[in-house]
Amino acid sequence: MVNESKNLDTLLKESRTFKPNPEFTQQANFNDPNVYAEAEKDPEGYWAKQADYITWFEPYNKVLEWHPPHAKWFLGGKLNAAYNCVDRHREGHRKNKAALIWEGEKGSSKIYTYDMLGREVDKAAHMLKDLGIEKGDRVAVYLPMVPELPITLLACAKIGAIHTVVFAGFSSKSLQDRIEDADAKLLVTADASWRRGKQVPLKQFADEAVRGTAVKHILVVNAVGDEADFSMKEGRDLYWDEQIAKASKAPYPAEPMDAEDILYLLYTSGTTGKPKGIVHTTGGYMVGVNHSLRSVFDIKDEDIFFCSADIGWVTGHTYIVYGPLSAGATVVMYEGAPDYPERDRFWDIIEKYGVTTFYTAPTSIRTFMKWGPEYLEKHDLSSLRLLGTVGEPINPEAWMWFHKYVGNEKLPIVDTWWQTETGCAMVAPLPGLTTTKPGSATRPLPGIIADVVDEEGNSVDYNSGGTLVIKHPWPSMLRTVWGDDERFKNTYFGQYPEWYLPGDGAHKDEDGYIWILGRLDDVINVSGHRIGTMEVESAIVGHPAVAEAAVIGRDDAIKGQAISAFVTLKEGYDPTDQLINDIKAKVSEEIGKMARPEEIYFTGDLPKTRSGKIIRRLLRNIAEGKDLGDTTSLADQSVVEQLQRLYKG
């Protein structure tokens, strides 16, 4: 269960409100309050209107077919995502406008106009074809934040191949699991990547990951160059630069994709140890994503959009690649860390490129708070006109800090609730219309029908809590879990057969505003990254000394949640500092650094109910230094004593 008490206490005390600035409202894309009622009356009609902002090669003949839990949107329509993001802009006034501004960690930058980006995407599309990639084939992408990353995605989209990006912070083992599950034919990676001036040997990880998989080729981008330490396997491994040089320079005609053809898979953590391949299709995703740019982000032709996420996560897919580019905006993509070389790097980027829209995560804001405002004060941030957050509930103090120091007490902040599964923002303010409250993602977007309900599915009263549900399909919703439709049905539609269950707890206030409290399942949100407790537990029990492990997310002032692991050892092993380090290293190796437990507690037994279920609440209380609370459900009361010894409070 989510740790509701603390969140709720702070959130419910929050009563500040911020009305939209009339000047902003006047210029806003969405400034007619009737939009909500209109969309609610006829969601399909509303989405049909939004679909007009996408270029279709052939019109659809039906907006929605809904056989719960399976939805199809824009049936019969043909389109291409890359065409919508790049080519259509090349044909008009945006041809020579900056599409992508890339800033490398070491300070270099590259600017691609729409026309230049289009040429790169076309060459990459030819290259993929030359490598035998066909429509529907899966291409795994394990790249740092270099321009070849969005170019690969768009090239896949252009030929109709399905990309599956694996965040470059994942281990070779996680990469391998995903390659296997997706049955990918090609892996695109880099020689290595830079992180805070240090190299991460991506190609070496890739070599391990492709063992025993169907991958025929590894395509290697030179992101680091001469200094990188890696080897190439004859016949299997190819350099991106060499292959691109060989590829045709002719325009690549966009593959007409069915609205329901898959655009991409993106793996995300769930309650079992196995990540789910979330399936997004072309038509609905593009319509939904583009709509959210126009509504929530009030996107304009002049906008310079900077989303600080990594393209390895859904936020980067939607708000670095498909969203801003489909809207014809200029997007800023930054390769590295926010504190490299100094803690003002983001502010420096905002000033340097005249960023208008800055979209980041609460965990980053809390880090900026810790560093102090002096890093911003050195920079001119007056180009900014809209701020956004995503990834986890934002605590009101962080919201206020963002408002005061970055927003100069006047910019709208859009706190956007959504998920890998939803494709784009779902609950969020419309900046020209919605009065915001720090800590609340406010209301569902027009066309989205969401509510907070109790176990029986009754809408909760105002000022009560329950679980968030989405009661009507929406265009950019996931269509299934790759290769596991049963899991899709059970996870998201198991409890309420016609409603989508996101797995988040929420509270509804007297104005009907939604306050997201956090996950209700065994998913931990560390710095906005979703990590399944089961994944971490199975990595830990993979260590030969470990008998059993239970993992929980405890409150953390910066990361939102941090991972604590409770471990019982096999006979003959002693709980040493060395073992703690080994176990932590094991998790980094198996999953990736972001899943590394902050602390390991050794205990003789884990607290369990009579039916053998681990009582995580007790563990969380220990990790947070709180009283154990009610222990009556424990099967073995002697465990209490052991746990008390761990208790640091």
Applying CB under 6 A, which of residues 416, 467, 476, 568 lies at the interface with ligand WTA? 416
- If binding is defined by CB under 6 A, does position 365 make contact with ligand WTA? no
Q: Are 583 and 600 in contact (CB under 8 A)?
A: yes
Provide the 10 A C-beta neighbour count for residue 359. Answer: 25
- As a whole number of angstroms, the distance between CA 292 and CA 323 comes to 8
* Residue number, 506 or 639, with CB nearest to ligand WTA: 506
Residues making up the binding site: 195-198, 315, 391-393, 415-420, 504, 519, 527, 530, 541, 543, 546
Q: Are 504 and 466 in contact (CB under 8 A)?
A: no
- As a whole number of angstroms, the distance between CA 518 and CA 272 comes to 18
Query: What's the closest the beta carbon of residue 558 comes to ligand WTA, in angstroms?
Result: 16
Query: What's the closest the beta carbon of residue 517 comes to ligand WTA, in angstroms?
Result: 8
- As a whole number of angstroms, the distance between CA 197 and CA 87 comes to 36
Query: Interaction with ligand WTA in 513-542: which residues (CB under 6 A)?
Result: 516, 518-519, 525, 530
* Residue number, 419 or 603, with CB nearest to ligand WTA: 419
Query: What's the closest the beta carbon of residue 452 comes to ligand WTA, in angstroms?
Result: 13
Applying CB under 6 A, which of residues 80, 420, 434, 527 lies at the interface with ligand WTA? 420
Q: Using CB under 6 A as the criterion, what x/- string covers residues 311-350 for binding ligand WTA?
A: --xxx-----------------------------------
* Residue number, 523 or 550, with CB nearest to ligand WTA: 523
* Residue number, 290 or 419, with CB nearest to ligand WTA: 419
Q: Which residues contact 295 (CB under 8 A, 6 or more apart)?
A: 29, 30, 430, 445, 446
- As a whole number of angstroms, the distance between CA 413 and CA 94 comes to 28
- As a whole number of angstroms, the distance between CA 444 and CA 339 comes to 34
* Residue number, 171 or 268, with CB nearest to ligand WTA: 268
Q: Are 66 and 95 in contact (CB under 8 A)?
A: no
The first and second tokens of residue 64, run together, are 């929605």
The first and second tokens of residue 466, run together, are 């329950």
Question: H helices of 160-298, where?
Answer: 172-182, 202-209, 240-246, 282-295
Q: Using CB under 6 A as the criterion, what x/- string covers residues 441-460 for binding ligand WTA?
A: x-------------------
The first and second tokens of residue 103, run together, are 């800033």
* Residue number, 292 or 315, with CB nearest to ligand WTA: 315
* Residue number, 72 or 529, with CB nearest to ligand WTA: 529
The first and second tokens of residue 109, run together, are 């930058």
Residues making up the binding site for CoA: 195-198, 315, 527
Query: What's the closest the beta carbon of residue 151 comes to ligand WTA, in angstroms?
Result: 23
Tell me the HSE value of 367 on the side-chain side, using a 13 A CA sphere.
Answer: 16
Q: Which residues pair with 600 in a beta bridge?
A: 565
- As a whole number of angstroms, the distance between CA 113 and CA 95 comes to 7
Query: What's the closest the beta carbon of residue 428 comes to ligand WTA, in angstroms?
Result: 7
Applying CB under 6 A, which of residues 36, 60, 205, 418 lies at the interface with ligand WTA? 418
- If binding is defined by CB under 6 A, does position 419 make contact with ligand WTA? yes
* Residue number, 89 or 620, with CB nearest to ligand WTA: 620
Query: What's the closest the beta carbon of residue 392 comes to ligand WTA, in angstroms?
Result: 5
Beta strand 276-281 with 262-268 is antiparallel
Beta strand 186-190 with 257-258 is unpaired
Give the interface size with ligand WTA as a residue count (CB under 6 A): 23
- As a whole number of angstroms, the distance between CA 387 and CA 355 comes to 11
Query: What's the closest the beta carbon of residue 137 comes to ligand WTA, in angstroms?
Result: 25
SS3 of residue 178 by DSSP: helix
* Residue number, 54 or 441, with CB nearest to ligand WTA: 441
Query: What's the closest the beta carbon of residue 348 comes to ligand WTA, in angstroms?
Result: 26
- If binding is defined by CB under 6 A, does position 561 make contact with ligand WTA? no
Query: Interaction with ligand WTA in 256-315: which residues (CB under 6 A)?
Result: 268, 313-315
Query: Interaction with ligand WTA in 480-499: which residues (CB under 6 A)?
Result: none
Beta strand 599-602 with 560-569 is parallel
The first and second tokens of residue 562, run together, are 């941090």
Query: Interaction with ligand WTA in 171-230: which residues (CB under 6 A)?
Result: none
Q: Which residues contact 79 (CB under 8 A, 6 or more apart)?
A: 54, 55, 56, 57, 256, 257, 259, 282, 283, 286
Q: Are 476 and 422 in contact (CB under 8 A)?
A: yes
* Residue number, 259 or 296, with CB nearest to ligand WTA: 296
- 242 sits in the region (left: phi over 0; alpha: psi -120 to 50; else beta) called alpha
Stretch near ligand WTA under the rule CB under 6 A, chosen from 294-302, 418-426, 473-481, 540-548:
418-426
Provide the 10 A C-beta neighbour count for residue 569. Answer: 18
Query: What's the closest the beta carbon of residue 525 comes to ligand WTA, in angstroms?
Result: 6
* Residue number, 189 or 416, with CB nearest to ligand WTA: 416
* Residue number, 125 or 168, with CB nearest to ligand WTA: 168
Q: Using CB under 6 A as the criterion, what x/- string covers residues 377-396 for binding ligand WTA?
A: -------------xxxx---
Site of tokens 């049905």: 489
Site of tokens 């105002």: 462
Q: Which residues pair with 508 in a beta bridge?
A: 464, 514
Stretch near ligand WTA under the rule CB under 6 A, chosen from 43-51, 144-152, 367-375, 414-422:
414-422
Query: What's the closest the beta carbon of residue 306 comes to ligand WTA, in angstroms?
Result: 17
DSSP secondary structure, 71-100, as one string: EEEEET-EE-HHIIIIIHHHTTTTTTSEEE
Residues making up the binding site for ATP: 391-393, 415-420, 504, 519, 530
Query: What's the closest the beta carbon of residue 417 comes to ligand WTA, in angstroms?
Result: 4
Query: What's the closest the beta carbon of residue 277 comes to ligand WTA, in angstroms?
Result: 13
Return residues touching ligand WTA (CB under 6 A). Answer: 268, 313-315, 390-393, 415-420, 441, 502-504, 516, 518-519, 525, 530
